[in-house]
Amino acid sequence: MALTMREKKKIGLEYSRNYLKARKKEKGRILDNFTEITGYNRNYGSRVLRDRRHSKPTGIKRKKKEKYGEDVRRALERIWSICDCICGKRLKPF
pLDDT at position 87, please?
A: 87
pTM above 0.85, yes or no: no
Longest dimension (CA), the chain: 67
For range 84-94, the mean pLDDT: 80
Q: Residue 29 and residue 12: Cα distance in Å, rounded?
A: 14
Q: What is the pLDDT of residues 36-80, one digit of tens each?
A: 999 999 999 999 998 866 555 567 778 888 888 999 999 989 988
DSSP codes of every residue in 9-73? HHHHHHHHHHHHHS-HHHHHHHHHHHHHHH---HHHHHHHHH-TTTTS---PPPPPPPSS-HHHH
Q: Where are the domains of the chain?
A: 5-50
pLDDT at position 24, please?
A: 92
Q: Residue 49 and residue 37: Cα distance in Å, rounded?
A: 13
The pLDDT confidence band at residue 88, using thresholds 50, 70 and 90, is confident
